[in-house]
Chain A
């Protein structure tokens, strides 16, 4: 499609010495103006995928295009239209906050006055103006992250890549970053992010590709993914004994149970229909002689989708 900012065709990466591909025949298309998430556990292949798209990882097979340009054949051109926020803090420690932005502009071919004006403007809009002259060592984790986003969008890239952008950030900084990305997206910024936080993917992304072992297991909007579970309620019961027996009893006696899962002392039910779920669950537990230590009812999340797809939890 002409509007696709990113296209991959059969993209595969096998690292030397590894038997299994890190990314296995990946076909993706990301449209302009979209916030696209690659969600999966460590080792799912998200970072490798992002690495190929940002020209740092050379694919073993397949092709990838950013803004219509082949990333293997013309990496330097791809870099002209990409903005990257990596997992680690890669700010230039020998430059001030302002200089980190200014020299980014020079690097991307902007003249002195234009770079200066743009650096001022970005510091202002990212609320970093009063730190302009400070060393980047003086910045907190959240502020450093903000400066890295400001630097990445300095040259108005066609696509902004963020690799695990909120890993290691405090909750407040995470919310601030989400707001910032939403604001940028409203202005038309295409964003591709990798994350293993399902709330992040849910909150930010227009579409999410759930990845595991180098494959995309499911790709859709967060809502559609959650609908695909067939359940509208997730009941989580923490028990003092006999989780398996309770799970079997609940599946038998409650209506609309789509699936049950026992992990340690936690029984999870995916249920369609929410009628009197809590009292009925407690009744069944009492009937079975199983003590309920905790009981929670929630809507399905992307975590639920991931568990259904892989049989394991995202954070495992």
Chain B
């Protein structure tokens, strides 16, 4: 029935086998991405498209006062476009990891097979973060041009590409958001995914500085306390979006000395919580 010999003992070191397994896991994910690329593009583009369509086309047309009209509207476009890239990166993390993982832990039980790969269990989760990050980068690349197309006449974002920031901040943001996806996917039971959207994903997106720069929140005060501005500092998406503003525009943004280390910190924190959760879910 078979031609290979039975492996009575491991023939490869743990390190060699783990490297090959990691390669295999990522290769599998990228193959699935290639097979479903049309679907991937559609689900990646629909949200940015709607955001740009409503805020940069419909609102200026009907005179709805978001960011004012004329130059004000163009200013808002400059704020929104990098925000749309940021939010797409975050949704990629949620979709490609948290939702996929909920499914694999839940009814398909596919994770049972995946963790039989000849490598440490945490590496299986790392492979998810890696391929999730790659999907994030692809998402950022296809979403960005959307904003250049979908807007009313005169409502053009002033784009200026800062390549050093783009090639460092985009991947960093993708890793941080993919790690967030790992935390969410391993913290919520598959049947509670609705809760995850309502109580985690929505607050993060609405209070994540997609539609406004962080500094614009200053007027929201109680007494003299800028409470909202302080509160949203807990939101990782704020730093992603401020970083995207630095990378894609000349708009004012949070200082990069803050953005880089905080994003590295969030990525590390999420990754360590996510890996620990993953191990706990898999082992008993």
A residues apposed to B, CB below 8 Å: 5, 15, 32, 51, 54, 56-58, 67-69, 74-77, 79-82, 84, 86, 88-95, 99, 103, 106-109, 118, 121-122, 125, 151, 153, 155-158, 183-184, 187-189
Contacts and interface: CB of A to CB of B under 8 A. Distances in A.
A94 B3 contact: no
Given A76-B118, A82-B116, A125-B2, A94 B32 contact: yes
Interface string B17-40: 110110111011001100110000
Contact of B9 (A99, A151, A158): A158
A107 B2 contact: no
Interface stretch (B104-112, B139-147, B251-259): B104-112
Contacts of B31: 95, 99, 103
A118 B117 contact: no
Contact of B117 (A67, A79, A86, A158): A79
A77 B11 CA distance: 9
A57 B284 contact: yes
Contact of A89 (B109, B115, B117, B120): B109
Given A76-B18, A90-B113, A158-B7, A56 B1 contact: no
Nearest to B6: A156
Given A80-B10, A92-B110, A99-B31, A58 B1 contact: no
Contacts of A122: 2
Contact of A67 (B8, B20, B27): B8
A92 B14 contact: no
B126 to A, nearest CB: 14
B132 to A, nearest CB: 15
Contacts of A15: 284
A236 to B, nearest CB: 39
B7 A90 contact: no
Interface of B: 1-12, 14, 16-18, 20-21, 23-25, 27-28, 31-32, 35-36, 108-113, 115-121, 282-284
Given A56-B282, A183-B1, A106 B113 contact: no
B10 A81 contact: yes
Contact of B7 (A75, A80, A89): A80
Contacts of A107: 20-21, 24-25, 28, 117-118
Contact of A118 (B4, B18, B116): B4
A187 B16 contact: no
A121 B113 contact: no
Given A86-B109, A103-B27, 14 more contacts: A56-B284, A58-B283, A58-B284, A68-B9, A76-B14, A79-B116, A81-B8, A94-B35, A106-B20, A107-B20, A107-B24, A109-B20, A156-B7, A184-B1
Contacts of B20: 106-109
Nearest to A155: B7
